[in-house]
A = this chain, B = another copy of it.
Amino acid sequence: MSGSGTNRKAKNITDGPAVVLIRPQMGENIGAVARAMANFGLSELRIVAPRDGWPNPAAVAMAASASSIIENAILFDDLKSALSDCHYVLCTSARPHEQIKPIVSPKDGVTQLYSHHTQGQKTALMFGPERAGLENEDISWASAICSIPANPAYASLNLAQAVVILGYEWFSQAHQSALPSKAQTFERASRAELFSLMDFFEEQLTHMGYFRPPHKAPVMARNLRNILHRLELNAQDVKTFYGALQALVKGPMPLSGKSKKP
């Protein structure tokens, strides 16, 4: 969403589970997976029996600034060798599988995986081919099945999008300090600052004859105060608002003479 694809000055995070693609078809999709991996600090790509062989120039082209992930990808002939050093493998599948294996949401699956990761175990996220997804035989080698919740009528996510969602969950859970803090709130103005603004507002409105009829003045003033309370102003807001009110009270000022006449 920001302009450039990479930021060479910023820290590149390369921790995290391996991403294992089983029989991927299009090189472009493998490249898009690499970009999604880079976005979420995943760096280790394993490719099992790609349809169009390996290396694949289309994958490099699509990976763009994440092409090093493609260049460092490891090719395997079969799924078992690709997973043999792993302790915990989470696979994704949209289809129901009649297997006695936990089915988890991306969030819960990544929580499990992260718990293995923090114990120093090797972990992996496994994804099937674009068209048909993982087969039952593939899934029998995984620790758990991750089911990405989606609109039943359009439940088919593309490969890179599935990696985006698992990557996002991974990064959110493994790098919590990168999350905006839940407690991120702006320090409220002190009551003294707020009351001073309220006083000024009411004085000026009184001066302008706003509070009419006079017997309703106390209710009208209370309503205004309650609006200002609801605004949850911070100290800077109070100054800004104060300045704006003052400007209204003072009336039009002559424009600065700086701009040259045409």
Q: Could you tell me which A residues sit within 8 Å of B by CB distance?
A: 1-8, 10-13, 35-36, 38-41, 65-66, 92-95, 100, 102-108, 127-128, 131-134, 147-162, 164-165, 168, 171-172, 175, 178-180, 182, 184-186, 234, 236-237
Contacts and interface: CB of A to CB of B under 8 A. Distances in A.
Contact of A164 (B35, B128, B165, B184): B165
Contact of A149 (B1, B127, B152, B172): B172
Given A148-B1, A171-B151, A105 B7 contact: no
B36 A2 contact: no
Given A149-B178, A154-B39, A155-B7, A102 B133 contact: no
Nearest to A95: B2
Contact of A155 (B10, B36, B154): B10
Copies of this chain, tallied across the complex: 2
Nearest to A107: B172
A134 B175 CA distance: 25
A188 B131 CA distance: 35
A12 B154 CA distance: 7
In the complex, the 9 A-B pairs of residues with the closest C-beta atoms, listed nearest first: A12-B153, A10-B152, A38-B154, A2-B94, A41-B151, A149-B178, A103-B180, A1-B133, A1-B94
